[in-house]
Amino acid sequence: MNHRPIALDLFCGAGGASMGLHRAGFDLIGVDSKPQPAYPFRFVQADALRLPFDLQRFDLVWASPPCQAHVGFNASWNDNSHVSLIADVRKLLAACPMTVIENVIGAPLRNAMTLCGTHFGLGVRRHRLFETSFGCCIWKKCSCRGKRLVGVYGEHPQGHFGDGYRIPRARSIGEARDAMGIDWMNWREITQAIPPAYAEYIGRAAMTSIKPR
């Protein structure tokens, strides 16, 4: 019997990365410290740095540690009170067969690849960095300059930030879902997610490197 490889998604949120990995051919288990009722696969509520199982049982471990320590565009709230977990996550994953660490532009990732929504024909910019332990790269530049895109951020659609932002905020949850390629999340969940297309792209590259157990 052929078994699908198993991926673990740490700091999974509502499952944007997990959905992409699932589409790439993985079975998923997600871990988050907070309840995630919208998460579409098997879910374990736990501290991602103190897991109740052996990481080496998984074919791929994906981690998206909190990004707040690396977001520098708004000094009024990013007052260095947020702690970066990237070094701790990298140490945790050191013995795993294949790994991915995802975070925002400015995070201290090594030899990271940058993905944008326009790489995949999406209506959102959403630049993110990806550090992988296997070969994965993008061969084309993103095309977000001059494109009509929407932003998916903030407390609610088209809110108090006004029209001064270069990329205006989505006007509804429907518009945000269309832009991100996500159809199951509420506004709060989708603002914290990555488009599944990113993880599907990386997951398909990982599939070519998986060794039979």
Q: What percent of the chain has pLDDT over 70?
A: 87
134 φ/ψ sector (left φ>0, alpha ψ -120 to 50, else beta): beta
**Per-position DSSP letters for 100-145, written without gaps between them:** EEEEETTS--SS-EEE-GGGGT-SB---EEEEESS-----S----T
Q: Where are the domains of the chain?
A: 6-138+194-207
Q: What is the pLDDT of residues 138-180, one digit of tens each?
A: 888 888 887 789 999 888 887 554 555 567 899 999 999 999 9
- Cβ atoms within 10 Å, residue 47: 11
Beta bridge partners of 60: 7
The mean per-residue pLDDT over the stretch 208-212 comes to 81
pLDDT at res. 81: 63
Q: What is the pLDDT of residues 39-49, one digit of tens each?
A: 999 999 999 99
The pLDDT-based confidence of 108 (bands split at 50, 70, 90) is very high
Q: What is the pLDDT of residues 57-104, one digit of tens each?
A: 999 999 999 876 556 544 344 445 667 899 999 999 999 989 999 999
Task: Tokens for 170, please give them.
Answer: 């989505």
pLDDT at res. 15: 98
Homologous superfamily of domain range 6-138+194-207: Vaccinia Virus protein VP39 (3.40.50.150)
